[in-house]
């Protein structure tokens, strides 16, 4: 390990600074929660929708739930960061790469085995924490309905789906690195974008049903109201489906997914059971607000160029022998980089710069929170009032034991949705509804 190597320095600085940033943010949130977590902010006091939903006992339960998750996160985060540093500093990655190369001369098999084995230590480390989170914390607070058999089944299914998604992309990357010379990055970007659209198209009909059962919403007032709302906003979906989320968890959600003829709206059965028809209509109106404001399309217009820009930068990086020699994959002074090492270069590029992901994430979270505000205001306008959306958000906040007013600095880094207090303030502002177009 060469500690004077620029890429090793970037890895160490990024890993340690990211660790400290996360620790500080979580500690700030913990201290704030300990002092103010059971308090109802002045801006919400007296709000009729709060009655019976956000009261002292609910807030105390929320504090206990978040503290339990924080106390589990602490050792997981410390051990995970320590494991990453140990694996890199002791030369684990070049060691397994060398062993795989000796065992097989096939570049495709070698690369896939490397990706599998390199991710194995962290997966093993996460296992006990995942079990404690699911079968201790989530069950203690009344969320998890998971059985151990179901948990194993989900893990196996997730692994199979991940392989089905990852293997074609890994093979495409290796093939293009081998045959496309300096143009591999733009071709791989095109493959990745096309593959992402394909997965989005197939997800509702092939992937999601592997984990959950989706039942068309029955005829009745709720379906009529939601279809009328969709017609009013010009949103065309194959159908509205109820997902059996309650067989695993008590958490609630609603979303639309898919592309083209596979586009559909999905409501968790927990959400349908927790909210009134008016409130469900307001929640769907919020989701349709994203559609009317073209938030997803706008995000893609930013994300796709960034994918190509990142791949271009990586294409420059993986030509540099220092990237490999610093982490022990190549002796100093060796300039020739073979195809298997070029693929390892992708891994090393992410290793060197992955810890700085909080920078674009900071921007992405800010953009996402702005979009959520716009969708909230859209819902308030199209439903004639924000009253039902506010009551829905308050109920969902209670049912999911979400914090109502975390520190602003914590939200800045960790929230892609605004906290409850800010959403209510925005929805209640007549000027926002007036300016909504």
CB of 66 closer than 8 Å to CB of 37: yes
DSSP 300-360: HHHHHHHHHHHHHHHHHHTT-HHHHHTTTSS-TT-----HHHHHHHHHHHHHHHGGGTHHH
User: For residue 374, which of 244, 287, 255, 265 has the smallest C-alpha distance?
Assistant: 287
Cα–Cα distance between 220 and 239 in angstroms, integer? 14
Q: Tokens at residue 161, please?
A: 């789906």
C-alpha angle 202-150-270 in degrees, rounded to nearest 5: 70
Give me the catalytic one of 281, 372, 376, 403. Answer: 376
CB of 195 closer than 8 Å to CB of 324: no
* Contacts within 8 Å (CB) and 24+ apart, 54-57: 54/394, 54/397, 54/398, 54/404
The CA-to-CA distance between both ends of the chain, in Å, stands at 58
Question: Each residue of 250-284: b (16+ CB within 10 Å) or e?
Answer: bbbebebbbeeebbbbbbbbbbbebbebbbbbbbb
C-alpha angle 318-323-324 in degrees, rounded to nearest 5: 100
287 is catalytic: yes
C-alpha angle 211-217-219 in degrees, rounded to nearest 5: 160
CB of 348 closer than 8 Å to CB of 327: yes
Cα–Cα distance between 277 and 296 in angstroms, integer? 26
Q: How many helices (H) and strands (E) does the chain have?
A: 19, 4
Give me the catalytic one of 287, 372, 399, 403. Answer: 287
Q: Which active-site residues does the annotation give? A: 287, 376
């Amino acid at each position: 390990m060469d500690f004077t190597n620029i890429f090793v320095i970037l890895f160490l600085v990024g890993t340690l600074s990211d660790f400290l940033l996360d620790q500080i943010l979580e500690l700030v949130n913990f201290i704030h929660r300990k002092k103010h977590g059971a308090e109802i902010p002045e801006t919400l006091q007296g709000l009729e929708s709060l009655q019976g939903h956000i009261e002292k006992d609910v807030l105390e339960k929320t504090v206990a739930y978040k503290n339990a998750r924080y106390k589990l996160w602490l050792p997981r985060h410390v051990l995970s960061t320590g494991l990453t540093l140990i694996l890199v500093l002791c030369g684990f990655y070049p060691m397994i790469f060398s062993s795989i190369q000796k065992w097989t001369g096939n570049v495709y098999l070698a690369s896939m085995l490397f990706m599998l084995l390199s991710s194995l230590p962290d997966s093993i480390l996460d296992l006990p924490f995942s079990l404690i989170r699911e079968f201790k914390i989530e069950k203690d607070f009344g969320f998890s309905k998971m059985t151990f058999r179901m948990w194993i089944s989900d893990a196996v299914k997730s692994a199979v789906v991940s392989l089905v998604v990852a293997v074609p992309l890994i093979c495409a990357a290796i093939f293009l690195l081998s045959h496309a010379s300096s143009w591999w990055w733009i071709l791989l970007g095109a493959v990745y974008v096309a593959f992402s659209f394909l997965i989005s198209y197939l997800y509702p009909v092939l992937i999601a049903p592997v984990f959950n059962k989706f039942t068309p919403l029955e005829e009745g007032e709720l379906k009529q109201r939601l279809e009328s709302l969709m017609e009013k906003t010009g949103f065309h979906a194959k159908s509205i489906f109820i997902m059996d989320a309650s067989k695993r968890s008590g958490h609630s959600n609603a979303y639309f997914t898919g592309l083209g003829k596979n586009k559909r709206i999905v409501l968790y059965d927990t959400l349908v059971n927790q909210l009134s028809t008016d409130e469900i209509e307001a929640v769907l109106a919020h989701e349709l607000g994203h559609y009317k404001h073209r938030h997803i399309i706008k995000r893609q217009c930013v994300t796709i160029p960034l994918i190509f820009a990142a791949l271009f930068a990586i294409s420059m990086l993986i030509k540099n022998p220092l990237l490999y020699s610093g982490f022990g994959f190549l002796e100093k002074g060796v300039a020739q980089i073979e195809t298997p090492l070029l693929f390892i270069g992708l891994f090393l590029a992410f290793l060197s710069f992955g810890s700085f992901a909080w920078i674009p994430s900071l921007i992405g979270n800010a953009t996402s929170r702005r979009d959520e505000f716009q969708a909230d205001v859209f819902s308030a306008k199209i439903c004639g009032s924000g009253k039902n959306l506010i009551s829905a958000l308050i109920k969902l906040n209670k049912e999911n034991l979400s914090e109502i007013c975390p520190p602003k600095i914590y939200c800045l880094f960790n929230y892609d949705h605004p906290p409850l207090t800010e959403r209510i303030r925005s929805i209640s502002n007549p000027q926002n509804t007036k300016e909504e177009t």
